[in-house]
Amino acid sequence: MEEKDLTKLKQAGKASAEALAHAKSIIKPGKSILEAAEEIERFITSKGFKLSFPVNLSINEQAAHFTPEVDDKSVFSDKDLIKVDLGARHESLLTDSAITIDLSGNNSKLVEASEEALSNAISIVKAGRQLRDIGKEIEGVAAKHGLKPIHNLGGHGISEADLHADIFIPNFDNGDNTELEEGQIVAIEPFMTDGKGHVDESSFTAIFQKTSECMVRSQEARTVSAFIDEHFASYPFTARWLSRELKDMGDFKIRRGLAEILNAGALEPFPGLIEKGRGMVAQAEHTLIVQKDGCEIITK
């Protein structure tokens, strides 16, 4: 990576860390979930960056891919365990990071375990390290605390314009002998639960990604498709953003247009993911650059 790009990536990582700190300062019982999401997203854009993806605010047994819709009236409660997952983007350079906020005060073991697992995993990252070793480290922390890692979620490689590229970094020893490479950008992402250690797709979907061109018949679908191409290209977006920018269309026509594009096979949906046993879920995440004898944390 060229030095100027590396500098921009680090700046985006710093903005991500600041956005997570901002999220922690505003997420309180009684706070509107919709307002929190939009405030966090505006914080990132105010720093001069775009969003790697819509901010995820996944609560309690929700593990990932939950972001509020435009008509969401719900508020955070004093029983909530909130995963805040976000990233700042400079052109095609992406970051990804997450924290867990425990408004109940009753889930400190989960939060601490996810943070400890992240720290321990980062401590062994270096060129030549096998992916299974990282998973083993995370799994060991979970076992020590009497918890389970979520087996079908994990970290990932990050390349230009692709947030989930190249490799899957497991949260358990899955036997993958693939080795990390010097200069590789990765996200380490432990998920801890007191449930079954597996997530299923829910019926809720608010995040999409356009994956190809498509032929659609209706005017609303053509309008929505053209707007996505111009403003989001192949990066993830949420229907909420369309509702904000295409106010004259109205939510019904926007959703009908999205449905037509989806049926044409040009959209990838990201359903909300829920812990199979409805256990509580905590998450922690950093973006790193793999080095010969260690790594550099970008999102701090």
Q: What is the pLDDT of residues 52-99, one digit of tens each?
A: 999 999 999 999 999 999 999 999 999 999 999 999 999 999 999 999
Question: For a pLDDT cut of 70, what percent of the chain falls above it?
Answer: 100
Instruction: Indicate whether this model's pTM tops 0.85.
Output: yes
Please say if 189 is a catalytic residue: yes
- Domain residue limits, the chain: 3-201+273-297, 212-265
- Give the residue-averaged pLDDT of 169-178: 98
Q: Which of 74, 76, 98 is nearest to 85 (CA)?
A: 98
Q: What's the topology of domain 212-265? A: Arc Repressor Mutant, subunit A (1.10.10)
Q: Which CATH number is associated with domain 3-201+273-297?
A: 3.90.230.10
Angle at which helix 219-231 crosses helix 251-263, to 10 degrees, equals 80
Please say if 248 is a catalytic residue: no
Residue given tokens 């026509």 in the structure block: 253
Question: For a pLDDT cut of 90, what percent of the chain falls above it?
Answer: 95
Please say if 96 is a catalytic residue: yes
Q: What is the pLDDT of residues 245-278, one digit of tens each?
A: 898 899 999 999 999 999 999 999 999 999 999 9
Q: What kind and span of H or E run contains 193?
A: strand 191-193
**Domains 3-201+273-297 and 212-265 are alike in CATH topology:** no
Please say if 156 is a catalytic residue: yes
CA distance 190 to 83: 12
CA distance 133 to 219: 52
The mean of the pLDDT values for the chain is: 96
Catalytic annotation, pick one of 96, 139, 220, 260: 96
Please say if 85 is a catalytic residue: yes
Asked whether residue 1 carries a pLDDT value surpassing 80, the answer given is no
Q: What is the pLDDT of residue 287?
A: 98
Cβ proximity of 118 and 190 under 8 Å: yes
Q: What is the pLDDT of residue 22?
A: 98
Q: What kind and span of H or E run contains 261?
A: helix 251-263
Cβ proximity of 155 and 96 under 8 Å: no
